[in-house]
Structure 1
Amino acid sequence: MRILVVEDEQDLLESLVEGLRLNSYAVDGCDDGCKAHELVSVVEYDLVVLDLNLPGMDGFQLLREIRTVNAEVKVLILSARDGLEDKVRGLDAGANDYLTKPFHFAELEARVRGLLRRRFTQQDRLLTFRGVMLDTAAHAVEAAGQPLTLTRKEYALLEYLLLHRGKVVSAEEFMEHVWDGGVDSLSNALRVHMASLRKKLRAALGCDLIRTKVGVGYYLDEGAEV
């Protein structure tokens, strides 16, 4: 899942970006409202973590702009403004959740997981498919009842496929939602990580759950025998 963090406190911004990346999310960071507006206009984010006190463009104005270009993206306001009026204003402006500073990172993680489950109409923390179980809260995967060790990118690829069962996911969509802005869209990063993920699943299950539709993308094989 791809997340944009908009926060003008540099230390906090770097901490949030790094913490969320450690949880297998693709994360872009931005410390300016106008720059954030440019990003959300061209990148399809799954979630925006938004501070209200921003240079360039106020957080409330940015939220309104976000809603004009993307009505579906989830927005979590993260602000030191803890008054009821600000919370109501933020939610009325289109935010999906509001978390006041200071906060524990574990709570932020839980809010992010909850919003992303809603983003993909997935209410259960456990994603299962033909012998594979992925726990979105613990960031753990089992295959054939045994723990499966994946890299962060392998986990993110598998999670995205599980959330899009029945669909062929293009390379462009993977690059948009699983990688952040630091990767070259022409690189072979997707192919390398996907090959490694398929190899691990094949070793654990004895079959290849992920199929390639040449020239289109990847999909989960509903008919694979496990």
Structure 2
Amino acid sequence: MPATQVLLAWSGGKDAAWALHDLRQRDDVEVVALLTTVTREYARASMQGIRVDVLRAQAAAAGLPLLEAHIPARCGNDDYDAAMDQALAEAGSRWPGLRTAAFGDLFLADIRAYREQRLAAAGWELLTPLFGADTAALARQMQAGGLRAHLCCVDTQQLDARFAGRAFDHVLLGELPAGVDPCGENGEFHTCVQAGPMFASPLDLRRGETVLRDERFAYTDFSLATPRAI
């Protein structure tokens, strides 16, 4: 039986990257492309704030095409749903057998249910390979497996801004306050991946400044040390 083709939602962060690694260990699925949502005004990943050229470099390192769904900065549910519906339609046209989308969700059942509902309305199925994992064990597994990432966005209402820009490593895990999920699944933080078993070669990233936006989110900028034409 041929492997099921999969479109993987790509944020540029550790959960999406590890979901890609996990799916590539299986014989029953084949990830054929990545899909990311990009804020139109900033040319960055919508929540993580990762530059679009870094996202493209990640996709190139993973050996996969990157599809981009562009949304406005002040994006409501209707805007997001319309952009995703269009992206799914385009993906389905490019890969006629493609009707499964994967996400790196870990344990937020309401978000998973929302994705499942929206995908079903478009005639797609949902795959969440990491869902239900113990996040403390998963974080250690990622690090032991060679994943290298940095915190690129911190919700300062849940975690001190001093964590922004730090490496996602065992030292950080040991310093996270009680109640903060080791994988940031409650939105405490987001990451930017630069290396791991899902990439053919690591990205050379340069850390930039950290800025506070919306009086809440501390974003640390990461750019390609050697900008490339993509």
Higher radius of gyration, 1 or 2: 1
Structure of higher RCO (CA pairs closer than 8 Å, 6+ residues apart): 2
**Normalized per residue, which structure has more helix?**
1
**Normalized per residue, which structure has more strand?**
2
